[in-house]
Amino acid sequence: MNEVDDSILEFFASQDESLVLSPALVWYNLHDQLELIDKSHETVARRMRKLSKRGLLEKVNDGKGYYALTQKGRDYLEGDLEADDLRLSDE
Protein backbone atom coordinates (compact mmCIF):
# COMPACT_ATOMS: atom_id res chain seq x y z
CA MET A 1 0.00 0.00 0.00
CA ASN A 2 1.27 3.48 -0.79
CA GLU A 3 0.11 7.10 -0.93
CA VAL A 4 -1.51 6.67 -4.34
CA ASP A 5 -3.50 3.69 -3.04
CA ASP A 6 -4.71 5.72 -0.08
CA SER A 7 -5.64 8.67 -2.32
CA ILE A 8 -7.65 6.40 -4.62
CA LEU A 9 -9.52 4.75 -1.76
CA GLU A 10 -10.16 8.06 0.02
CA PHE A 11 -11.51 9.56 -3.21
CA PHE A 12 -13.97 6.69 -3.64
CA ALA A 13 -14.99 6.94 0.03
CA SER A 14 -15.64 10.68 -0.28
CA GLN A 15 -18.19 10.10 -3.05
CA ASP A 16 -21.61 8.48 -3.19
CA GLU A 17 -21.43 4.89 -1.94
CA SER A 18 -22.68 3.50 -5.25
CA LEU A 19 -20.13 5.40 -7.36
CA VAL A 20 -18.45 3.41 -10.14
CA LEU A 21 -15.46 4.93 -11.95
CA SER A 22 -12.80 4.09 -14.50
CA PRO A 23 -9.09 4.60 -13.75
CA ALA A 24 -9.07 7.52 -16.22
CA LEU A 25 -11.75 9.39 -14.27
CA VAL A 26 -10.07 8.69 -10.93
CA TRP A 27 -6.74 9.94 -12.32
CA TYR A 28 -8.34 13.06 -13.81
CA ASN A 29 -9.96 13.98 -10.50
CA LEU A 30 -6.93 13.21 -8.30
CA HIS A 31 -4.35 14.70 -10.69
CA ASP A 32 -6.02 17.55 -12.57
CA GLN A 33 -8.96 18.63 -10.45
CA LEU A 34 -7.82 18.08 -6.86
CA GLU A 35 -4.04 18.08 -7.50
CA LEU A 36 -3.53 15.37 -4.87
CA ILE A 37 -1.15 13.18 -6.87
CA ASP A 38 1.55 13.72 -9.47
CA LYS A 39 1.49 10.20 -10.92
CA SER A 40 0.53 9.10 -14.43
CA HIS A 41 -2.77 7.65 -15.55
CA GLU A 42 -0.98 4.31 -16.04
CA THR A 43 0.16 4.31 -12.41
CA VAL A 44 -3.39 4.92 -11.19
CA ALA A 45 -4.74 2.14 -13.43
CA ARG A 46 -2.06 -0.28 -12.19
CA ARG A 47 -2.70 0.60 -8.54
CA MET A 48 -6.46 0.17 -9.01
CA ARG A 49 -5.87 -3.33 -10.41
CA LYS A 50 -3.77 -4.15 -7.33
CA LEU A 51 -6.42 -2.72 -5.01
CA SER A 52 -8.95 -4.94 -6.76
CA LYS A 53 -6.74 -8.01 -6.24
CA ARG A 54 -6.58 -7.13 -2.55
CA GLY A 55 -10.37 -6.87 -2.41
CA LEU A 56 -10.43 -3.14 -1.61
CA LEU A 57 -11.96 -2.21 -4.97
CA GLU A 58 -14.32 -4.35 -7.00
CA LYS A 59 -14.36 -4.58 -10.80
CA VAL A 60 -17.90 -4.07 -12.01
CA ASN A 61 -19.76 -4.17 -15.33
CA ASP A 62 -18.31 -7.53 -16.43
CA GLY A 63 -14.74 -6.39 -15.82
CA LYS A 64 -14.80 -3.58 -18.39
CA GLY A 65 -12.53 -1.31 -16.40
CA TYR A 66 -14.95 0.19 -13.90
CA TYR A 67 -14.39 -0.06 -10.17
CA ALA A 68 -16.30 0.49 -6.94
CA LEU A 69 -15.15 0.64 -3.31
CA THR A 70 -15.82 -2.54 -1.32
CA GLN A 71 -16.68 -2.94 2.35
CA LYS A 72 -13.13 -4.22 2.85
CA GLY A 73 -11.89 -0.94 1.35
CA ARG A 74 -14.05 1.02 3.78
CA ASP A 75 -12.78 -1.13 6.66
CA TYR A 76 -9.17 -0.36 5.66
CA LEU A 77 -9.86 3.38 5.59
CA GLU A 78 -11.54 3.19 9.00
CA GLY A 79 -8.42 1.52 10.44
CA ASP A 80 -10.00 -1.90 10.91
CA LEU A 81 -7.39 -3.50 8.61
CA GLU A 82 -3.63 -2.99 8.52
CA ALA A 83 -1.69 -2.58 5.26
CA ASP A 84 0.44 -5.63 6.15
CA ASP A 85 -2.74 -7.75 6.22
CA LEU A 86 -3.36 -6.83 2.58
CA ARG A 87 -0.04 -7.85 1.02
CA LEU A 88 -0.18 -9.93 -2.14
CA SER A 89 2.07 -12.96 -2.48
CA ASP A 90 4.11 -11.25 -5.25
CA GLU A 91 5.07 -8.25 -3.07
The one-letter amino acid code at 40 reads: S
Query: Global pTM?
Result: 0.89
Question: Is it the case that residue 90 has pLDDT exceeding 70?
Answer: no
**CATH number for 9:** 1.10.10.10
Adjacent-strand bridge partners of 67 = 21, 59
Q: What percentage of the chain reaches a pLDDT higher than 90?
A: 75
Average per-residue pLDDT for the chain: 91
- Cβ neighbours of residue 52 closer than 8 Å, sequence gap 6 or more: 58, 59, 67
Residue 34, domain member (yes or no): yes
Would you state the pLDDT for residue 72? Answer: 94
pLDDT for position 26: 98
**Cα separation of 53 and 25, whole Å?**
20
Asked whether residue 87 is domain-assigned, the answer is no
For residue 50, being part of any structural domain is answered with yes
Q: Is residue 25 part of a domain?
A: yes
Average pLDDT over residues 29-40: 96
pLDDT of residue 84: 74
Q: What is the pLDDT of residue 18?
A: 86
- Identify the three-state secondary structure at position 37: coil
Position 62 pLDDT exceeds 90: no
